[in-house]
Chain A
Amino acid sequence: MVSGNLLWVLMGTTLLGIAAGITGTFSFLQKQSLVGDAAAHATLPGIALAFLLTGQKELPVLMIGAALTSALSIYCIQWIVTYSKLKADAAIGLVLAVFFGIGIVLLTIVNRSPLGNQSGLNDFIFGKAATMTKSDLTWLFISALIIIAVSLLMYKEWKLIIFDPVYAKGIGLPVEALKACLTALIVMTIVTGIQAVGVILMSALLIIPAASAKLWTKKLSTMLLFSGIAGGLAGVVGTFISSLRVGLSTGPIIVLCAASIFFISYLFSPKSGQISKYIRKNKFQQGEVQ
């Protein structure tokens, strides 16, 4: 029933979901979820620029371009927040829109360049999980595994710089370098995912599983575990559902699966779920009456 190619794609989107769930948790805890959104949009000019400069549609080349502009956008946001009186929200929105606008400009230039059509580049906006080739998937596997491995290795250090940066500095940890490393990993996750689910929906994979996990637990290790599982589950189920009918695009369905997990958590999680809150409140009031 499950064809060979579908199996590969399933594995790819699952690994991607796990990786995004894990790095998303770190960026969520730093209150930087929307920075990830901007960084995802900012991959577009990098992809187009890499293609214009090298004339190659090789994935590694495009990925390097994407990573560079994506990192640049995060740097711009930090720079604006530090050196102007603008608040983070305005800086993020401005950088997001301007980078994406430049991306569109470059894409139209690619479009009419003699090197030919933009097909392949346009896919980055909405993703093309279902039609990824073996070599695309190999890249996805490798980078997802690296992301997961690095996150596990750096777990202790990152935990410290997120929850107690002052103490971390005190015991001599290179806080800035560790933060940069975390940012780099988030950028890497985005770049890994855009081919599968696209620029716009990639930010969803970083945000939604982490936000769901936060509803269940306050402990970082459990949160990472839950978020990784939620992301992976969304990847599997979403890809599977979209394979059932031709024309169902994989990216949106993966995101909607993640959204369902969030919705269930929002209602039913024992700690912060709305229904359990309601029951607790009722019990409390009844107790008062009696």
Chain B
Amino acid sequence: MIEFWVILTGVLVGITCGIAGVFLILRKMSMIADAISHTVLFGIVMAFIITQSLNGLWMLVGAAIAGILTAYLVQLLQSSGIQEDAAIGVTFTSLFALGVLLITLFASNVHLDVEHVLMGEISFVPWDKWTFLSITMPKAVWMLLLVLVINVTFLLLFYKEMKLSTFDYVYATTIGLPVILLHYVFMTTISLTTVAAFDSVGAILVVAMLIGPAATAYLISKSIKEMFLWSISFGMASAIIGYYAAKWFDTSIAGMMAAAVGVIFIAVFIVDKLQQRFNKKAVASRGSF
């Protein structure tokens, strides 16, 4: 049963992040996601300092605010003429440093220690349970399910708008779509995803899961829908492979899941290249007839 909850948590992270990652890759915003995954630390610490509790809901709120703040600051710096990579770099490193400092000053005794935040403790997930509607499940699973619902709802409601503002920003603006608002709502879902995955698997795996499966899917997909399906599958596969590899080597589960993301990327990349070469050869030999 313990094993089941841990794998389920990993798989849910894979699905939730896999969905969120697709538009990140398409909108070329992977590094903003990386930035947010660092700055939610700041949001969580602020939530803790203000409420003095480790309540997951307040953390979600704090993280969402930190995520929007990050997206806003990056946008602000960029619009005043600072190049994009530097705008991202300055924003997230400063807020991350502030977060680390605030932890050492105000929260060093709670379980908010920084290493936990980086690496997560997925193997402790099954013990922290929560009952709702007489269903008892680990808190992490509840949180991930909640965010999964939010992400799917967002997509169902705004799929067309997201697609249009991603591929034809100028046109989307001219027909009066609230593209800026859409950007911030999307960034909010990214921060919610990050924080839900964060507590169990840590910042590193969140970044790996947000970017990796979607990037891998991007290599082989011919439509956005296809990309969503591949991204979710690669996310789930990384979680499962990572879990068993970690068990085999008796090492960090979150770390192994991130490594599995890399292995799957390389495998898909090679298979795709081979297939392309094969197709080319087939076409060439057909041509010579």
Q: Are B252 and A31 in contact (CB under 8 A)?
A: no
Please classify the interface of chain B as helix (H, G, I), strand (E, B), loop, or mixed, using the class held by over half of its residues: helix
Question: Is residue B287 contacting chain A, with contact meaning CB distance below 8 A?
Answer: no
Q: Are B30 and A248 in contact (CB under 8 A)?
A: no
Q: Are A255 and B97 in contact (CB under 8 A)?
A: yes
Chain B residues in 8 Å Cβ range of A98? 208, 212, 258-259, 261-262, 265
**Interface-forming stretch among B83-91, B163-171, B181-189, B225-233?**
B83-91
Q: Are A97 and B89 in contact (CB under 8 A)?
A: no
Closest to A245 in B: B105
Interface residues of B in 70-85 (CB under 8 A from A): 77, 80-83, 85
CA distance A272 to B81 in the complex (A): 8
Provided the pairs A85-B219, A93-B34 are in contact, do residues A259 and B205 lie with their beta carbons within 8 angstroms? no
Chain A residues in 8 Å Cβ range of B31? 34, 89, 92-93
CB distance from B118 to the nearest CB of A (A): 7
CB distance from B87 to the nearest CB of A (A): 8
Question: Is residue A3 contacting chain B, with contact meaning CB distance below 8 A?
Answer: no
Question: Is residue B111 contacting chain A, with contact meaning CB distance below 8 A?
Answer: no
Q: Are B101 and A249 in contact (CB under 8 A)?
A: yes
CA distance A201 to B89 in the complex (A): 11
Question: Is residue B11 contacting chain A, with contact meaning CB distance below 8 A?
Answer: no
Among candidates A101, A204, A207, A274, residue contacting B80 with C-beta atoms closer than 8 Å: A274
Question: Is residue B237 contacting chain A, with contact meaning CB distance below 8 A?
Answer: no
Chain A residues in 8 Å Cβ range of B258? 97-98, 100-102, 104
Question: Is residue B114 contacting chain A, with contact meaning CB distance below 8 A?
Answer: yes
Question: Is residue A223 contacting chain B, with contact meaning CB distance below 8 A?
Answer: no
Closest to B251 in A: A108
Interface residues of B in 225-277 (CB under 8 A from A): 246, 249-252, 254-259, 261-262, 265, 269, 273
Among candidates A86, A91, A92, A252, residue contacting B98 with C-beta atoms closer than 8 Å: A252
CB distance from B246 to the nearest CB of A (A): 8
Question: Is residue B44 contacting chain A, with contact meaning CB distance below 8 A?
Answer: no
**B117-157 vs A, Cβ < 8 Å mask (1 yes, 0 no):** 01100000000000000000000000000000000000000
Question: Is residue B29 contacting chain A, with contact meaning CB distance below 8 A?
Answer: yes
Q: Are B219 and A84 in contact (CB under 8 A)?
A: yes
CA distance A101 to B87 in the complex (A): 25
Q: Are B255 and A90 in contact (CB under 8 A)?
A: no
Among candidates B108, B114, B265, residue contacting A94 with C-beta atoms closer than 8 Å: B265
Question: Is residue B8 contacting chain A, with contact meaning CB distance below 8 A?
Answer: no
Question: Is residue B211 contacting chain A, with contact meaning CB distance below 8 A?
Answer: yes
Q: Are A210 and B261 in contact (CB under 8 A)?
A: no
Chain A residues in 8 Å Cβ range of B255? 101-105, 107-108
**A106-148 vs B, Cβ < 8 Å mask (1 yes, 0 no):** 0111001000000000100110000000000000000000000
Chain A residues in 8 Å Cβ range of B246? 105
Interface-centre pick from B38, B77, B259 (highest chain A CB count, 10 A): B259
Provided the pairs A96-B207, A208-B90 are in contact, do residues A112 and B212 lie with their beta carbons within 8 angstroms? no
Question: Is residue B96 contacting chain A, with contact meaning CB distance below 8 A?
Answer: yes
Q: Are B218 and A208 in contact (CB under 8 A)?
A: no
CB distance from A218 to the nearest CB of B (A): 12
Interface residues of A in 208-247 (CB under 8 A from B): 208, 210-211, 214-215, 247
Q: Are B115 and A96 in contact (CB under 8 A)?
A: no
Provided the pairs A33-B89, A201-B97 are in contact, do residues A96 and B212 lie with their beta carbons within 8 angstroms? no
CA distance A109 to B251 in the complex (A): 6
Among candidates A32, A97, A214, residue contacting B82 with C-beta atoms closer than 8 Å: A214
Question: Is residue B104 contacting chain A, with contact meaning CB distance below 8 A?
Answer: yes
Chain A residues in 8 Å Cβ range of B85? 31-34
CB distance from A248 to the nearest CB of B (A): 7
CA distance A108 to B258 in the complex (A): 14
Question: Is residue B204 contacting chain A, with contact meaning CB distance below 8 A?
Answer: yes
Question: Is residue B100 contacting chain A, with contact meaning CB distance below 8 A?
Answer: yes
Chain A residues in 8 Å Cβ range of B210? 93
CB distance from A212 to the nearest CB of B (A): 8
Chain A residues in 8 Å Cβ range of B51? none
CB distance from A269 to the nearest CB of B (A): 11
Chain B residues in 8 Å Cβ range of A107? 252, 255
Q: Are B81 and A93 in contact (CB under 8 A)?
A: no
Q: Are B207 and A93 in contact (CB under 8 A)?
A: yes
Provided the pairs A93-B34, A102-B255 are in contact, do residues A208 and B211 lie with their beta carbons within 8 angstroms? no
Interface residues of A in 28-49 (CB under 8 A from B): 28, 31-34, 37
CB distance from B247 to the nearest CB of A (A): 12
Closest to B99 in A: A252
CA distance A96 to B204 in the complex (A): 9
A residues neighboring B (CB under 8 Å): 28, 31-34, 37, 83-87, 89-94, 96-98, 100-105, 107-109, 112, 122, 125-126, 200-201, 203-204, 207-208, 210-211, 214-215, 247-249, 251-253, 255-256, 259, 262, 266, 272, 274, 277
22 residue pairs of the A-B complex, CB under 8 angstroms, read A28-B86, A89-B29, A90-B28, A92-B30, A93-B30, A93-B34, A93-B215, A94-B211, A94-B262, A97-B34, A97-B204, A97-B208, A98-B208, A100-B258, A102-B259, A102-B262, A107-B252, A210-B86, A249-B100, A255-B97, A256-B94, A256-B98
In the A-B complex, the 7 residue pairs with the smallest Cβ-Cβ separation, listed nearest first, are A101-B258, A98-B262, A204-B93, A104-B255, A97-B208, A207-B89, A255-B97
